[in-house]
Amino acid sequence: MGLTISTGVSGEVANKVGLVMEQLSHFLQVVTITHLPQIASKGQSHFLVYKNDTGKIPSTKIKKLTEEERVLEIAKMLSGSKPGESALQNARELLHS
């Protein structure tokens, strides 16, 4: 079964969607690609998908994140590429809520 939620989701709605997906994960395997920190923070595992164009041919890479890398990536979702301490703290709170 595939489900796509694409536009118009943010804030409290994103948090509720994340909670529903977390509940579904108790019975099903759920794989999500998202830019929303409220949803990303609900997963058991977190993978970073990124483009590697250091060689002649660009490639797509996937990396499983450690707990600290996960905090940093969620903080980046919240505030941009160079998150401050408040974004890092907010990311930690999302991960532990």
Altogether, the residues listed in the chain come to a count of: 97
Q: Is the per-residue pLDDT at 27 higher than 90?
A: yes
Q: What is the pLDDT of residues 28-72, one digit of tens each?
A: 998 888 899 999 999 999 999 999 998 899 999 999 999 999 999
pTM across the whole model: 0.80
Q: What is the pLDDT of residues 6-25, one digit of tens each?
A: 567 778 888 888 888 889 98
Q: Are 77 and 37 in contact (CB under 8 A)?
A: yes
Q: What is the 3-state secondary structure (H, E, C) of 7-39?
A: CCCCHHHHHHHHHHHHHHCCCCCCCCCCCCHHH
Q: Are 95 and 41 in contact (CB under 8 A)?
A: yes
Dist. CA 10–CA 8, nearest whole Å: 7
Q: Are 78 and 91 in contact (CB under 8 A)?
A: yes
pLDDT at res. 69: 98
